[in-house]
Amino acid sequence: MAQYSSYILVCGGTGCRASQSELILENLKEAVEQHGLQDTVQVIRTGCFGFCEKGPVVKMVPDNTFYVQVKPSDAEEIVLEHLIKGRKVERLLYVDPETNEQVPDSKHIDFYKKQLRIALRNCGFINPENIDEYIARDGYVALGKALTEMTPESVIKEIMDSGLRGRGGGGFPTGLKWQITRKVQAPQKYVVCNADEGDPGAFMDRSILEGDPHSIVEAMAINGYCTGANKGLVYIRAEYPLAVERLRIAIRQAKEYGLLGENIFGTDFSFDINIRYGAGAFVCGEETALIHSMEGLRGEATVKPPFPSEHGYKGCPTNVNNVETYANVPVILLRGAKWFSSIGTEKSKGTKVFALAGKVNNVGLIEVPMGTTLREVIFGIGGGIKDGKKFKAVQTGGPSGGCLTAKHLDLPIDYDNLLAAGSMMGSGGMIVMDEDDCMVAMAKFYLDFTVEESCGKCAPCRIGNKRLHEILQKITSGNGTIEDLNMLRNLAGVIKDTALCGLGQTSPNPVLSTMDNFYDEYLAHVEEQRCPSHQCRELTQYFINPEKCKGCTLCARICPVNAITGDRKVPHVIDPQTCIRCGSCIEKCKFGAIYVH
């Protein structure tokens, strides 16, 4: 029986495979056998290391040497030098671009890991339903420290100095918000956790609540101590049943341990948390609408000021923070503001969690330091674009954000850079699009969403967005004119300036940013009645190339509306009037004879 003492891991991610990692794997296996090492050394293929730009990568275990840009012809040398002679193959080691030094040893093996988990520190490590595991990983120490060794002012100062900004998307300085709530004199104050995660494609708040609910409980109690509130409320979507359940268990356990309730840590501070359920309206993520919903009123936004910090839940000062913001708080108190502010960019400190989705190979929940570039996220961690297609754009900030294009790939991600580039941080949805996606249709998709989710209170959002949507519908069906494009831009500007709340003020962003970056696509739709990505069905037509068609009749049999006709062994024809452009024929044709135009 084989008794393996070392392993060679070859990256089998899509990027590395494209540069012959399979052949490297074969060659390594062969070399291992030739040297008679097959019973002690195992060669295996792994998933993506997220370091595709330096691929193909090979990792040696247990000494953790990391070889980059390996070629199939290097296999023999790796086995002979590394395994037999015990010397590293220096020319294949990674060279740190900053220090210009090779990275040979296992101590620095983390260089390829661009992700740093602070908010997600416990997700995937602890059992979220067991408070003991949270405590073993420093849980509630920050609360104890705050209550017994620090004044509320000094805690707030620490949060301010850390540079933590609201992770729900707005990016308001968290410490400042706490201070404002603290300064207002009132007999009753509230602490609210905004867990009404509504951006399509974003699920970081759910993951934190499901993976590490105690971090939110602890942070809310710290917030209560600072702002002078003794009641906490979590506003969470009822369609997150598992998150609700785990949060409920966490609150119960914290009470049993005396970490919530009366006289916490023997001090005179008392704090309790209750849960309020939302029915899943997007606008209720806006703080004033959220508070109204909790009060049992309609989920509609009201004009700010007054801000919730002064006049919130039941008219009392209320501090509202997002789940991910809270998740950072205990760590800041334990490690200090200085440590936290050493991560990130000048004005955006710490890390940000993103839900990476769309046309990337490694769809996932990731956490990177602020200032990481889009390229590192999409082509590094994300493993590049699916099926080797070309990157076109990435939508950040969901329906409130905008799209960023290839020219923004090297932009360091932070609040201010994204705003300047015409998008926004938002809650952290990141949807990657490739060459097959139509940007006009994409803008229409987000408008579909905002039209549906508008609360209807103010006219710009209720009526304006509806009109925007109609114009986009007209354009994507081939009936648009140049005047429509001008109208689109003007109307978008008016909505932005006049809508009541964040939802309406940001809803035209997808339209404006796609117009800024992909105006030629809009023009193609209105001037030539053509959709360059062949996505807008009403603008596409399917054809059969008579030279390639063998007359096999497969497409005619597959077509759901019998739009394809033709005799056996004679090129077939598609009737454009009957064709519904479903694409089934293209998928099935073995000769590549069907094309879209």
Partner 1 sequence: MNKVKTLDDLRKMRETLRTTLDIREKSNHPEQMVQIRVSMATCGIAAGAKEIMNYFIEALDREKVDALVTQTGCMGYCYAEPTIEVAVPGKEPIVFGHVNKEKVDEIINRYIRQGELLDDIIPVTYTAIKPE
Kindly identify the residues of this chain, within the stretch 135-154, that bind partner 1 according to CB under 8 A. Answer: 135-141, 144-145, 147-149
Which residue spans within 454-546 are E strands per DSSP? 542-544
The single residue listed with the structure tokens 């801000």 is 307
- Give the list of residues 6+ apart from residue 586 with CB closer than 8 angstroms, or none: 542, 594, 595, 596
Is 11 a binding residue for partner 1 by CB under 8 A? The answer is: yes
- Would you say 58 or 193 has its CB closer to partner 1? 58
Q: Which of 172, 240, 180 is nearest to 204 (CA)?
A: 240
Binding segment for partner 1 among 74-82, 209-217, 311-319, 468-476 (CB under 8 A)?
209-217
Determine the interface stretch with partner 1 among 27-35, 128-136, 224-232, 422-430 (rule: CB under 8 A). Answer: 128-136
CB of 363 to partner 1, least distance (A): 5
Q: Which is nearer to partner 1, 136 or 420 (CB)?
A: 136
**16 forms part of the interface with partner 1 (CB under 8 A):** no
Contacts of 374 (CB under 8 A, 6+ apart): 394, 404, 408, 409, 410, 411, 413
Part in contact with partner 1 (CB under 8 A); list of ranges 115-123, 219-227, 387-395, 462-470? 115-123
**How many residues of this chain interact with partner 1, rule: CB under 8 A?**
76
What are the φ and ψ backbone dihedral angles of 217, each rounded to 5 degrees?
A: -60, -45
The DSSP letter of residue 271 is B
Segment contacting partner 1 (CB under 8 A): 6-14, 425-433, 511-519, 551-559? 6-14
Cβ distance to partner 1 smaller for residue 243 or 455: 243
546 sits near partner 1 (criterion: CB under 8 A): no
Q: Please tell me the distance from the alpha carbon of residue 96 to that of residue 469, in angstroms, as a whole number.
A: 49
Note whether 81 binds partner 1 by CB under 8 A.
Answer: no
Binding flag, residue 59, partner 1 (CB under 8 A): yes
Looking only at residues 94 through 113 of this chain, which bind partner 1 when binding is defined by CB under 8 A? 110, 113
Q: What is the Cα–Cα distance from 395 to 513, expressed in whole angstroms?
A: 10
What minimum distance in Å lies between the beta carbon of 345 and partner 1?
A: 19
* Beta carbon of residue 458, minimum distance to partner 1 (angstroms, whole number): 34
Q: Are 223 and 230 in contact (CB under 8 A)?
A: no
Residues 319-378 within binding reach of partner 1 (CB under 8 A)? 331, 334-335, 361-367
Residue 243 contacts partner 1 per CB under 8 A: yes
For residue 305, is the peptide bond before it cis, meaning its omega torsion is within 30 degrees of 0? Answer: yes
Answer for which of 105, 256, 452, 575 binds partner 1 (CB under 8 A) is: 256
Task: Determine, following the binding rule CB under 8 A, whether residue 248 of this chain makes contact with partner 1.
Answer: no
Residue 334 or 561 having the CB closest to partner 1: 334
Round to whole Å and give the CA distance between 429 and 421: 16
Q: Which helix (H) or strand (E) holds 441?
A: helix 439-453
Least Cβ distance, residue 162 to partner 1 (angstroms): 14
55, 169, 211, 502: residue in contact with partner 1 (rule CB under 8 A): 211
Is there binding between residue 286 and partner 1 (CB under 8 A)?
no
Secondary structure element (H or E) that encloses residue 250, with its range: helix 241-256
Is residue 128 a contact point for partner 1 (CB under 8 A)? yes
Q: Is 44 in the site for partner 1 (CB under 8 A)?
A: yes
Q: Quick check: 129 binds partner 1 (CB under 8 A)?
A: yes
Query: Cα separation of 501 and 24, whole Å?
Result: 56
Within 13 Å and on the Cβ side, how many CA atoms surround 230? 10
Q: Which of 48, 150, 216, 425 binds partner 1 (CB under 8 A)?
A: 48
Q: Does residue 42 interact with partner 1 by CB under 8 A?
A: yes
Closest C-alpha to 516, from 528, 508, 525? 508
| One residue of 65, 207, 319, 513 binding partner 1 per CB under 8 A | 207
Q: Provide CB contacts within 8 A for 454, sequence distance 6+.
A: 283, 461, 462, 465, 503, 504, 507
Beta bridge partners of 365: 355
Report if residue 271 touches partner 1, rule: CB under 8 A: no
Three-state DSSP class for residue 542: strand
From 34, 39, 47, 183, residue interacting with partner 1 (rule: CB under 8 A) = 47
User: DSSP per residue over 509-532, as a string?
Assistant: HHHHHHHHH-HHHHHHHHHS---T
Rounded least distance, CB 467 to partner 1, Å: 37
d(CA 261, CA 259): 7
Q: Determine whether 132 is exposed, middle or buried from the number of CB atoms within 10 Å of its CB (0-12, 13-18, 19+).
A: exposed
Q: Is 203 in the site for partner 1 (CB under 8 A)?
A: yes
Q: Is 125 in the site for partner 1 (CB under 8 A)?
A: yes
